[in-house]
Amino acid sequence: MTQPDLKTALLQHNHWLITTHKGPDGDAVGSVVAWAELAKQNNKSYQILFADQPAAFLCPFLDELNWSVFDTQANYHHDILFALDYNAPSRVGDAMAHLIINSSAFKVMLDHHPDPDPFCDIMVSNIQACSTTEVIYQTLQSIGQTEFINEAMAKGLYLGLVTDTGSFRFPSVSAATHQMIALLFSTGMQHHLIHEAIYDVNSVTRLQLRGYAVAEKLKLFPQKGIGLMSLSKEELARFDYQKGDTEGLVNVILSIEGYQVGVFLMETDEGVKLSFRSKGTRYVNEFARTYFNGGGHKYAAGGFAVGDLQSVINQLEELLDNL
Ligand code: 5GP
Ligand code: MN
């Protein structure tokens, strides 16, 4: 499929269902915000549908938009479905995956994750892009709709860029990323307010939880350049854990001199969620896919394991030579 087909599809369909992955991060939320603004500019009706509730710090970005969390009882009338910032139906969780797979609507993917599943009619997948919002910007360029980028859309696009690039520091950032930012600034977007909304919204308990994790829960393997950090359900409860409180915590490990791989393990009611990060010549997505039923990007991946925290840590430690 070529880009003209995408433009035709956008213009032909009037009821846009805009979806993103479970555990929406800044890029997921930024992407749906930008795409909803595009729907508005094209006089389309739209609905943003999340698999689960976004973290509190991301909700202000959705103010005044039509969004909801997936409900198995609800009907989602749509003639076109957008899959933003995910590469497979499994990324939205079982219940919502059913809707995505069985929808008879035209489907469009806009994403930057490797190895996309061919579940959409049009797949705009650019794994070089630093964020899905960068893919969206490139797509607007290719269909000639960059004039629709207003301040509201720019905020979403910028949110995705900042959060998926560690504030513009990862290798995925390019000259083109900065050219895109220049255009976003021209809309009147106040970039410092976006940084503040993302990074200056700590609660005291969140800071204490993060301090505790660094002070008490770091396990280092200096010969391997790997650091692990874990938090049990009890520890999370002790610091009044709220969704989003551990976001980015795994990156602390990579900030230690001599460490190239960090793993954060978080115990949940269902099992243990693992977050992998790396840099340089070390990659984590294959490891996450092979051993922990997950995947992701070369330098940022996730996975999941059933079992209690200690047993998953033991399992992981046995495998460290493969990481
Ligand atoms: P996080 O550690 O922030 O949860 O996830 C890091 C990256 O890994 C995300 O960008 C996401 O794309 C990917 N990821 C996280 N969990 C999974 C998973 O279960 N499956 C796959 N395929 N990718 C994941
Ligand atoms: Mn992303």
**Pocket residues: Cβ below 6 A from ligand 1:** 25, 113, 275, 294-297, 300-304
Distance CA 162, CA 151 (A): 16
What pLDDT score does 174 carry?
Answer: 98
Cα(144) to centroid(ligand 1), Å: 32
- Contact (CB, 8 A) for 122 and 143: no
Counting Cβ atoms within 10 Å, is residue 11 exposed (0-12), middle (13-18) or buried (19+)? exposed
The tens digit of pLDDT for each residue in 271-321 reads 999 999 999 999 999 999 999 999 999 999 999 999 999 999 999 999 999
Residue 26 has pLDDT above 90, yes or no: yes
Give the number of the ligand closest to the Cα of residue 29.
Answer: 2
What pLDDT score does 251 carry?
Answer: 96
Give the closest residue (by CA) to ligand 1 atom 15: 302
Cα(232) to centroid(ligand 1), Å: 20
pLDDT above 70 covers a percentage of the chain that reads: 99
Residue 3 has pLDDT above 60, yes or no: no
Counting Cβ atoms within 10 Å, is residue 82 exposed (0-12), middle (13-18) or buried (19+)? buried
pLDDT (average), residues 254-274: 97
Last residue of a domain, one of 199, 216, 241: 199
Query: Which atom of ligand 1 lies closest to the CA of 276?
Result: 2
Say yes or no: 238 and 191 in one domain. no
Residue 99 has pLDDT above 90, yes or no: yes
- Pick from 270, 290, 291, 297 the residue to mutate for probing ligand 1's pocket: most ligand atoms within 8 Å of its CB: 297
pLDDT (average), residues 243-269: 96
What pLDDT score does 106 carry?
Answer: 97
pLDDT above 90 covers a percentage of the chain that reads: 98
Q: Identify the DSSP state of 61.
A: G
Residue 4 has pLDDT above 80, yes or no: no
Domains identified in the chain, total number: 2
Last residue of a domain, one of 172, 199, 226: 199
Please report, as a single letter, which amino acid is at residue 291.
Y
Cα(109) to centroid(ligand 2), Å: 13
Query: Which atom of ligand 1 lies closest to the CA of 301?
Result: 8
Say yes or no: 31 and 130 in one domain. yes
At 246, is the secondary structure helix, strand, or coil? coil
Q: Where are the alpha helices (DSSP H) in 42-165?
A: 94-102, 132-142, 151-164
Residue 73 has pLDDT above 80, yes or no: yes
The tens digit of pLDDT for each residue in 184-203 reads 999 999 999 999 999 999 99
What pLDDT score does 23 carry?
Answer: 94
What pLDDT score does 203 carry?
Answer: 96
Last residue of a domain, one of 156, 179, 199: 199
- Round the CA-based radius of gyration of the chain to a whole number and report it: 20
Any idea what the CATH number is for the domain that residue 36 is in?
3.90.1640.10
Query: Which atom of ligand 1 lies closest to the CA of 87?
Result: 22
Domain that holds residue 107: 3-199
Distance CA 52, CA 54 (A): 6
Residue 209 has pLDDT above 90, yes or no: yes
Helix (H) or strand (E) holding 265: strand 261-267
Q: How far is CA 315 from CA 45, 265, 309, 310, 320, in A?
A: 48, 12, 10, 9, 9
Cα(274) to centroid(ligand 1), Å: 9
Counting Cβ atoms within 10 Å, is residue 212 exposed (0-12), middle (13-18) or buried (19+)? middle
Say yes or no: 232 and 195 in one domain. no
Q: Which of 117, 116, 120 is nearest to 106 (CA)?
A: 120
